[in-house]
Structure 1
């Protein structure tokens, strides 16, 4: 099951905190160790902690440090995005989330409050965050002040938008529903896009005791002084009435639950409001708010104090009427941790309107299926850090390599060895403002291992006419030296190619690292990080025109590579025809390769072909072209018939869809050696080092 859940709303004041209370109560019935996390909180007001975090931590006695329960304030998030740092924002949120996830059985996440000026911005941000967390989503829609048709239309549109973004929508809870429209609303909302299971839809009726503030909330919000009615501060406020008219006119505007806002020296309004509460001819007002820091005269105070059991709370606030009214416009009903009555009401409403066993059961069945590029990159780094490997990088004087080494070192991804002239590398490190204290620098020409490496190379290549003196010269080349470090076990893997050609990077590995037992060729895959999943494409970089035997070997190697990197392998052998529909030499090659791969295949790994690309990825096309297939429509590993097809396809997908292509990842070698593109970026280098480290872990049987 998924270890997380993301609650997001459609707008402000949806009652999302009440839903969070109910869901947390449900989770704690089955799990002992549940964390609470808000990626984005409102900007800190007066040094107060975030309301919802404080509510959940306090009520459920969760011993989580407050600073671990959120990542950014809304203004900080907006600042980063405006500065073009959206990726950094997501990465840091993901880091904090993953830290909690690694320490707890489950993480309940709650999205932002939509109290900023741009709700569309917050909606996109919440969707993006939930997607990168890989968390299933509960959508909280609001029925407050809306008719049936408006609620259904707006909520259905939101459901479809979230599904189009690839989110796993578990349930939709329409909260604060008015006029008894709940049953009709739930019957008209449904999933239309990602519909493996019906969407769970629930409706919760409006509860004024939760949605409206009390006089106590008003007093606390405005830093007021309670003058009278201390025992009635739980009275609900339904509306605000600013009293500036004479008494005879002002009374026409009062209604049940009105909060009368008036300057503290308007004694006529004060006395009339108190009297109206004792009159059966007028509705009961909720309270009186005296502005300007003014209070009634001594005689009026004396009159009120002599009034047995003043029935209306009277609160004095320091600000003028205009500012007070503006501040009140930002106040809405909140559930405070100490307000057990409101908490009980919220939990009672949730349990009476939501089928808790059904929702809990659905969460238990929900698997985290979505994998975004950012998630995949995060998981690569986390997996590499779990068992640190020693990775050698021959291009030690390359600026991009040094910047990547700085990141890798700071994050503890691998123990790095940079090759090159030490004085030159040190100077570049200093010029770039880096430190790289934990990175080893080795000059091959001065290494104590140079002679032993030369002799090892001579023994491996003397049948090709290599002389010992030639071997010494060859080993002074950083790429040959680095590859021999891997071969001799002095490093666990090598990454090169930021400056060197592919041929120069991998030739030494072909010469003396050689292929694994049972492997006849070295091949490659690209890890294609799509919007919401990872595919494996092979071979797109090494073999121009593999025969059927080689193609089968590429398929099996790619399936194993997929497994190592957490992708469930379902292998599609691609061609220009599906099943028995086509004829020709190339189709026959793919058919034969499929047969060989299936015969040699590993149990539990489905391999099917020939398949056209659309039949491999699209479930609807698969139903027509190859029904009842384990692979068609669900493929994760795509084997291309030749390099021309594979290389063009991966570049076309990368450029046209915005997919992140990580690779090429070499497979079939005895030891991990990987090639970079000469146009690679610093993140490309970081990812490739992490991949190489994971391959080294697999080679050592650590995964």
Structure 2
């Protein structure tokens, strides 16, 4: 059992972010870490922030901390030992299911003089290694060092065997480019040279700090982007009420502006993510905000101060913006007091702001030294492909592949943002099919920075180049006139680019149906030489492992030979993404316990698949619980190498597969990546029309990897 206690040097060092980031970094190395906060420190709150965010982000259970009132009561009655015994009891609860536990220590502050001493006692009670969490300013190593020395002295100094290292959070003095936010864990963001240089500066003052025995395990830059509150976080802080709440829980305040002078001199402030603050009698400001929103500029929101809220007649003029979700607040405070209070808003992540928590967690983990983690675990853990590790591998493999992916829905806002991310991070060379001026307008309205090397191709300028080739590819099925008409559809145009090897893959579906995306691929790309059909898989990102489900999107009722082919395709797809496949052929019956045409089909498909690919672990028929639950598998199929351990599930028909994947996805709140099409000559992938930007990024990455795999065969 390994326990890591994170101890802060003071308030506002980002302790919650440090805990979550370290847990995520461990996940990406295949370690499901437990989390424990033994002692609550928020007197009024009924919900502990870090505990709640851990439960949501990692879909993992933990125990509630001992209430602050109980902690202070025990300490005042000289019951320190009893308090620590309770902490050990909570620790043992977590230890039942985890080999490594991250523990959040108490924050030293003016109110809780006992915090440092109790942290030291806790480290001994839990036999924990200690990581000091501190802010840093690389321009002032002396000040930074003093904070660390004060805290680490409590644990016997930096050369003590219990001291494991220091994690610097919210580091100032680094170049602005260091604060970029990754879409997933990206070790290339680590500031290795800065960290080494800073360690040398610290060691010149104290030989132990930053040394091999007490290393800097991470240098995390301060990021304005990740310190941004939502509009919904502002209301109580400035004693305001909602005129229109709109999208207050989605819109974030990237920066704010006081509007004081004539409106014509202030119009440059009306940009994406801006919080506009103005006196409520400035009707021109309200109307300008409304017009900006109507023009597609997503302002963070509007705060009206002093006087009375605008009357109904004025608000009626703003209905378009209000319907588009523009949040509007009114506060009786003066404009100056409002701005002053907002400047003092806490940087801590609210319990319900899980989107920001996810981004911060990824950002922090990207700056943690993986070699430190390797030494920490010391080979005592069996690696597994966790969802975090899967997403990490997805991005890293696609960066290595360097593929060109066409996006036919080139002016769709989510697609534009995903393309910009992929281009900037090197995930793929993206090609947007759209009018360049329209893409630029979409990007400007949404505050998206378009990389200079992002390709935007006007379909009208290239369409005629593909008419003759399309007639040739579909000889006898379309003439020149029909080809010209079909190429008006950018999905068809993009598929032709893929067919002619001008791009390596295609991703569509944010606004098109699956049929719109897949039909041109069937007609122009066709199946790979070794396959007779096209099928699909979903990667199901369960809390502890990634499962592969096939086929849940394409084939309504495959026969035994087709089902065997789907199993082989799915196994190869699993391998391509780092999953060692154990394939279960799913039925309503396990082994020979049931009979009927459906069971016989699955049994025959299993036999064919085993014969064609003796290198694969394939078993069936298996019921779902016999395939996935170890105790059930041992009971129903004791001799099976797959039962109870399956990670690739092949469903007998589309009805079963689609129903199961959606039931698991929705009822267990599981992220599913896909459907990924398999069996085509070249990779084409479909998106859900409700896809988020991250979903599109991961699908682009997945498509790039497919292309690389096909090229290697």
Counterpart residue number, 1:614: 625
SS at structure 2 position matched to 1:494: strand
Among 8, 11, 21, the alignment partner of 2:4 is 8
Please state how far the C-alpha of 1:96 moved relative to its aligned partner.
Answer: 11
The residue number in structure 2 matching 1:42 is 8
- The 1:114/1:361 distance shift into structure 2, 3 A limit, reads closer
User: Aligned residue for 1:391?
Assistant: 405
CA distance in 1, matches of 2:472, 2:27: 52
In 2, Cα distance between equivalents of 1:360 and 1:422:
50
3-state DSSP of counterpart to 1:638: strand
- Conservation of the 8 A alpha-carbon contact between 1:41 and 1:113: no
2-structure distance, mates of 1:397, 1:171: 44
| CA gap 1:552/1:334 in 2 versus in 1, 3 angstroms | same
The answer to whether structure 1 residue 443 and structure 2 residue 458 are counterparts is: yes
Q: Distance in 1 between matches of 2:2 and 2:653?
A: 43
Give a deviation string over 1:402-432, Cα, whole Å, max 9, x none: 1222222232211100002222222222222
CA–CA distance in 2 between the matches of 1:457 and 1:480?
Answer: 10
Cα distance per residue 1:320-348 (max 9 Å; x no partner): xxxxxxxxx999832223689999xxxxx
Deviations for 1:415-460, whole angstroms, at most 9, x for unmatched residues?
100002222222222222222123101122202xx44422221111
Distance 2:49 2:664 in 1: 28
Task: Name the structure 2 match of 1:50.
Answer: none
| Alpha-carbon spacing, 1:625–1:408, altered in 2? closer, same or farther (3 Å) | same
Q: 1:511 to 1:168 in 2, by over 3 A?
A: farther
In the alignment, structure 1 residue 419 sits paired with structure 2 residue 433 = yes
**Could you tell me which residue of structure 2 aligns to residue 29 of structure 1?**
none
Q: Aligned in 2, Cα 1:77/1:633: closer, same or farther, shift over 3 Å?
A: same
Give distance in 1, aligned partners of 2:379 and 2:59.
Answer: 19
1:452-501, CA deviations, whole angstroms, 9 ceiling, x for partnerless residues?
A: 4222211111222x112322332332111111111211111100011111
User: Equivalents in 2 of 1:97, 1:371: separation in Å?
Assistant: 6
* Residue 334 (str. 1) matches residue 160 (str. 2): no
Alignment pair present for 1:481 and 2:465: no
The answer for the alignment partner of 2:526 in structure 1 is 514
**What 5-or-longer segments of structure 2 have no aligned partner?**
61-74, 104-122, 131-142, 144-149, 165-373
State the secondary structure of the residue aligned to 2:619: strand
Q: Which has the larger radius of gyration?
A: 1
1:695 to 665, 683, 706: 706
* In 1: Cα distance, 2:20 partner to 2:377 partner: 27
8 Å CA contact retained: 1:614, 1:621: yes
Q: CA deviation at 1:206?
A: 11
DSSP 3-state at the match of 1:463: coil
State the shift of 1:121 in Å.
Answer: 4.9
Q: Which residue of 1 aligns with 2:567?
A: 555
SS at match of 2:497: helix
For residue 510 of structure 2, what is the aligned residue in structure 1? 498
In the alignment, the residues of structure 2 paired with residue 409 and residue 626 of structure 1 have an alpha-carbon distance, to the nearest angstrom, of: 48
Q: In the alignment, is the contact (CA less than 8 A) between 2:404 and 2:429 conserved in 1?
A: yes
1:77 to 17, 26, 37: 17
Q: How does 1:452-471 map to 2 (within 5 A)?
A: 452-464=465-477, 466-471=478-483
How far 1:157 sits from its partner (Å)? 4.8
Q: Is the 8 A contact 2:403 2:429 kept in 1?
A: yes
Distance 1:592 1:515, change over 3 A: same
Aligned to 1:653: 664
> Aligned equivalents of 1:163 and 1:653: distance in 2?
26
State the partner residue of 1:593. 605
Report Cα offsets for 1:247-284 as digits up to 9, x if no partner. Answer: xxxxxxxxxxxxxxxxxxxxxxxxxxxxxxxxxxxxxx
RMSD across aligned C-alpha pairs, in angstroms? 4.3
Matched ranges for 1:173-188 at <5 A: none
Task: Indicate whether 1:368 and 2:383 are aligned.
Answer: yes
Indicate the SS of the match to 1:521: coil
Distance 2:154 2:380 in 1: 35
Alignment check: 8 A CA contact 1:480 1:508 kept: yes
Give the alignment's TM-score, normalised by structure 2. 0.55
Taking structure 1 as reference, are residues 539 and 146 closer, same or farther at Cα in structure 2, changes over 3 Å only?
farther
Is the CA contact 2:36–2:91 (under 8 Å) kept in the aligned structure 1? no
Q: Counterparts of 1:152 and 1:391 in 2: how far apart (Å)?
A: 58
CA contact (8 A) 1:41 1:112 kept: no
Q: With structure 1 as the length reference, what TM-score do the two structures score?
A: 0.56
Match of 1:671 in 2: 682
Using the TM superposition, give the Cα deviation of residue 684 of structure 1 relative to its aligned residue in structure 2, in angstroms. Answer: 1.4
Mapped partners of 2:523, 2:13: distance in 1:
55
What pairs up with 1:229-240 in 2 under 5 angstroms?
Answer: none
| Count of aligned residue pairs for this structure pair | 444
Q: Which residue does the alignment assign to 1:313?
A: none
- Indicate if the aligned counterparts of 1:112 and 1:122 stay in contact, CA closer than 8 A: no
Question: Is 1:161 aligned to 2:94, yes or no?
Answer: yes
Whether contact under 8 Å (1:444, 1:475) holds in the other structure is no
Task: Give unmatched runs, 5+ long, in structure 1.
Answer: 10-39, 46-71, 79-88, 133-143, 173-202, 211-222, 224-328, 344-358
Tell me if the contact between 2:538 and 2:549 (Cα under 8 Å) persists in the aligned partners.
yes
Range with greater deviation from structure 2 (376-385 or 362-371): 362-371
